[in-house]
Structure 1
């Protein structure tokens, strides 16, 4: 097993995670934190993006089935053991990852951690439980389809991505879920849920060496290996820190729009229109290029003093709400502006957004950057307050990018951006003449 303490001249003092790789490839990230809890998060760089169109929805369905028993645990026993000790557990699936976690009292961690590793690495996926859970997943899809906000988001993803699997819903379509088999799911789990694709993050009030030892022994127990009594803690080889390659899969980021691509829909459940505008921008694989979009999104549409909110909602009353965000997927990013507004205001609001983008390319005030810098610094601190906060931060970056440094250096990277950097980013990617636009009108 190998280990390294991440060091940097810009590393915030409140973070001191260590990384350790097991011989089987599983990466452990551990940190002691003086809070009377321990969070164990298991992150896999496996989400809906690795699915073929025919099995779209499998990763999310599997997330459900992980809790339906193993050779050692009957269905429901894991949750019972967790709840008896006052611990909590949950899971989530996205396009680029799947995430399972438990939060326990430190005294219970050694007992509960092996169960977490067992359910994730060794689910039985029994036929009877599969059929029952299929109905649960189908109901979740129906609820999603009945949600106007969710429907609008899915339509915008289909507009934004022509080829990349991010255009598909994580839950998958009903027809797929109805036809999936237990053997398909077992094959999917066997291919993707390997130790090399798992990042286990343990953060809480136990010594780092003890956290690592518990996770290592839990993994070896789940995989049927005995744990040695002594482990040398050696430095991680950076070249060995990358996540498991998604073998056989080819992802090509999509080129920016060259013209305005417009789609208009109607939705009888709406009382106001929805306006979505998107620009294709770099994703997490080009991480350094994404920081500018985070700042621009904040200047444009995050907070009451941001440009779009102040102008279109507060001053002119043209929208009920408006928001800008930089959505960073692994292989592609989206600069995303969403507004809720009276349908008659759609043309003037769309033009006003374009006018703000033009102004952004030539005029950014120092006070705006100062506001964003303060927000970034404080959000980083506020997002490090609990073991689960830190475990999520470390798990996402280590699992998706194979590196913790970008997570810890994020405030410095954002705060080092100058006006010229932001204007160049806006000029290069946020063209007022080429973008995708979705308008959903009430019937």
Structure 2
């Protein structure tokens, strides 16, 4: 077993260690009486084929059903008995599992978590039982009008990309899935080169790293793969693409306007769009909230967001409003974007938002779980922590011209997607 340790620059604290089998360990000591152990895999719904859409999320459920060393439910019982907590999450481009425990319990729980994710037994009886749970989750999601509108918007925004598919999958796809298909998916993706293991808490970095390395150092899969499907970005909208539908479950109509924008691989543009989203529609001081809700009373709620994926993102503005105001609100949103394109934003406006975002970034990095999630996200998505460490500096280096140019370049006022879900 060989270790290559690198101390990142840019005022960083964690130590990054790469094992000879490709596993990355990120460890940091924090003076907090806890340790967060966070295991990230570079696998989510984006790497699935259409025939197994939803498999990554289904597998996340099944991971907790036991391993070679643990029977079904035993891990959660051990965690609970020690006063620790565990959970997991699946996205388009990653899946991660975590345990937060006391420092004295880390050496016992971390190897069990690694055994659970890497040596899952995927028992047939639990596979059948858990499939019913996932199918019920899908049915509940279909009954959520807000989620339905967002899924329709993603299908318009990404007609050729896997980002348009639901992370949960569909009943038609999940129902016929077999345990063998899940086993093959697990063996292909859950392997050291696809993993980032983060341990942050009140233990020496050397101990945090060694405990993981002792378990993982010699592990290799037969036919170990690191292949990921190549995803090509969609072209920008060149016309206005609309979809209107009626949903009787809605009490108020909903509208989502969207633009295709760069992904995380174009980080500088992404950062400018993040700030632009806040200026337009995040918080009570944002332009759209003040104008459309507080002054004109045209909407019940409105917000803007820049949703990031690796290859391509979506900048969207969502509102809840009376059906009779749909056309007027759409035009008012376009007017606000046009105003920024023509006149830019003020230095005071930019400074307020940049300070707010920078402070949120700092405040959300104070706990071991915050740090472990930050490291897992950046390293799994970008293969480096440099942009995490330089985030606030990059943010504060943005100029009013950067924001204006981002609006001009990406938020075309005559080419975008829009979904309008109307109540009866």
Alignment TM-score > 0.5, same fold: yes
**Alignment counterpart, residue 236 of structure 2, candidates 244, 252, 256:** 256
Residue 2 of structure 1 and its aligned partner are, at CA, apart by 1.1
Alpha-carbon distance between aligned partners in 1 of 2:32 and 2:220, rounded to the nearest angstrom: 31
Alpha-carbon distance between aligned partners in 1 of 2:42 and 2:172, rounded to the nearest angstrom: 26
Residue 374 of structure 1 and its aligned partner are, at CA, apart by 1.0
Alpha-carbon distance between aligned partners in 1 of 2:146 and 2:369, rounded to the nearest angstrom: 28
Partner of 1:89: helix, strand, or coil?
Answer: strand
1:180-201 superposed Cα distances (whole Å, 9 cap, x missing partner): 0000000001111111000000
Match of 1:303 in 2: 283
Match of 1:362 in 2: 342
Matched, 1:415 2:396: yes
Matched, 1:200 2:231: no
Q: Is the 8 A contact 1:267 1:442 kept in 2?
A: yes
The equivalences for 1:2-401 within 5 A come to 2-8=4-10, 11=11, 15-220=12-217, 245-247=226-228, 249-363=229-343, 364-401=345-382
Partner of 2:198: helix, strand, or coil?
Answer: strand
Alpha-carbon distance between aligned partners in 1 of 2:260 and 2:357, rounded to the nearest angstrom: 23
Q: Is the 8 A contact 1:298 1:324 kept in 2?
A: yes
Alpha-carbon distance between aligned partners in 2 of 1:411 and 1:311, rounded to the nearest angstrom: 29
1:254-276 superposed Cα distances (whole Å, 9 cap, x missing partner): 01101101110110000111010
Residue 29 of structure 1 and its aligned partner are, at CA, apart by 0.4
1:234-254 superposed Cα distances (whole Å, 9 cap, x missing partner): xxxxxxxxxx8534x221000
Match of 1:240 in 2: none
Alpha-carbon distance between aligned partners in 1 of 2:58 and 2:116, rounded to the nearest angstrom: 15
Residue 46 of structure 1 and its aligned partner are, at CA, apart by 0.4
Cα gap change, 1:390/1:115 in structure 2, threshold over 3 Å: closer, same or farther?
same
Residue 176 of structure 1 and its aligned partner are, at CA, apart by 0.9
Q: Is the 8 A contact 2:20 2:217 kept in 1?
A: no
Q: Is the 8 A contact 1:113 1:218 kept in 2?
A: no
Structure 1 residue ranges without an equivalent (≥5): 225-243
Partner of 1:319: helix, strand, or coil?
Answer: coil
Q: Is the 8 A contact 2:238 2:415 kept in 1?
A: yes
Q: Is the 8 A contact 2:21 2:217 kept in 1?
A: no
Alpha-carbon distance between aligned partners in 2 of 1:223 and 1:216, rounded to the nearest angstrom: 13
Residue 223 of structure 1 and its aligned partner are, at CA, apart by 6.6
Alpha-carbon distance between aligned partners in 1 of 2:203 and 2:196, rounded to the nearest angstrom: 19
1:290-329 superposed Cα distances (whole Å, 9 cap, x missing partner): 1110010010001101100000011111100000010011
Residue 150 of structure 1 and its aligned partner are, at CA, apart by 1.2
Q: Is the 8 A contact 1:117 1:222 kept in 2?
A: no
Alpha-carbon distance between aligned partners in 2 of 1:181 and 1:285, rounded to the nearest angstrom: 35
Q: Is the 8 A contact 1:263 1:437 kept in 2?
A: yes
Match of 1:234 in 2: none
Alpha-carbon distance between aligned partners in 2 of 1:222 and 1:104, rounded to the nearest angstrom: 25
Structure 2 residue ranges without an equivalent (≥5): none
Alpha-carbon distance between aligned partners in 2 of 1:223 and 1:191, rounded to the nearest angstrom: 12
Q: Is the 8 A contact 2:65 2:126 kept in 1?
A: yes
Alpha-carbon distance between aligned partners in 2 of 1:287 and 1:215, rounded to the nearest angstrom: 31
Q: Is the 8 A contact 2:261 2:314 kept in 1?
A: yes
Aligned length: 418
1:350-394 superposed Cα distances (whole Å, 9 cap, x missing partner): 000000000011221111101111112211111111100010000
Question: How large is the Cα RMSD of the aligned pairs?
Answer: 1.3
